[in-house]
Amino acid sequence: MPFVPPKSLQFKPEEVPAAIKARVHLDKAVDVKLPHFRYLELWKGFELLYKTQEKSASKLLANRHGGRAAAELDLIAQQITSLTRPRLEQLLAHQDIPTIMMLMARKNLKKLLGENELLAENGLTEDVWQHAKKDLQFNLKANYWKAGEALARVFYLVRGAADPTVRKTDNLVSDEAILKPAYEVLRFAMRTMMDQLGEDNETFLGVGQRKTVAEQAKLPKGKKV
């Protein structure tokens, strides 16, 4: 029989970080001509970012929601609110968010939300949307978690209504007035998240570096390891 090395000695290709995979979709989206497919291409990268955090976020979210398992909208909100305070403030102050909300108010939300298979499965009803709209309007400074949750619902509503493969009655497939600003806000959110991930990785020292820094700290001032 051929020799099979133990798993600990087998070659394992290095996992490509989610932020790098997400950047591929971020760059590809620029060249997509149809606005709904452009948004959905961007969503593929955004999904990689928030689903990568699923394991670490699940316990935190379960505690926050009284033991309830984290749903997809919870993971999206968690990803948004994991931003540092200045970055989150900048995202929530994006000039296109009021435009999206104003245009959404003119839509038939009962049809858009109530007869969309994906949105219904994930609990995004007309009532939930109305609460999210108020949270986004009134909690931008008072409660960043609620504002983050509301923005997560904005992103997801557009995603569900723009996807031609989702069974629904009304849609945003050809509504460029909403899709364009929604794309800009989601793109800005992704870039902000990836910038933060990049900074976190740069400031994290490897084992060897941490040892050198620790040894350096023990030496008299002016001496080096």
Q: Can you tell me the mean pLDDT for 37-45?
A: 96
Greatest alpha-carbon pair distance for the chain in Å reads 73
Mean pLDDT of the chain: 81
In whole angstroms, what is the distance from residue 19 CA to residue 15 CA?
Answer: 11
Residue 9 has pLDDT above 60, yes or no: no
Residue 2 has pLDDT above 50, yes or no: yes
What pLDDT, on the 0 to 100 scale, is given for residue 203? Answer: 46
Residue 215 has pLDDT above 90, yes or no: no
Comparing 65 with 196, the larger pLDDT belongs to 196
- Which DSSP string do the residues of 152-170 spell out, in sequence order? HHHHHHHHHHH-TTS-BSS
- Which DSSP string do the residues of 25-84 spell out, in sequence order? HHHHHTT--SHHHHHHHHHHHHHHHHHHTHHHHHHHHHHHTTTPPPPHHHHHHHHHHTS-
Question: Residue 115: CB partners within 8 Å, gap ≥ 6?
Answer: 168, 169, 170
What pLDDT, on the 0 to 100 scale, is given for residue 221? Answer: 46
What's the pTM value of the predicted model, to 2 decimals?
Answer: 0.78
What pLDDT, on the 0 to 100 scale, is given for residue 198? Answer: 78
Q: Can you tell me the mean pLDDT for 29-33?
A: 95
Tokens of 92: 């929530």
Name residue, tokens 């007035």.
Answer: 177
Report pLDDT digits (tens) over 170-212. 999 999 999 999 999 999 999 999 999 877 554 444 444 545 5
Q: How confident is the model at residue 28 (pLDDT cuts 50, 70, 90)?
A: very high
Tokens of 44: 């593929």
- Quote the distance between the C-alpha of residue 170 and its chain's center: 25
Instruction: Fill in the amino acid letter for 113.
Output: L
Report pLDDT digits (tens) over 127-157. 999 989 888 887 666 678 888 889 999 999 9
What pLDDT, on the 0 to 100 scale, is given for residue 29? Answer: 96
Q: How confident is the model at residue 217 (pLDDT cuts 50, 70, 90)?
A: very low
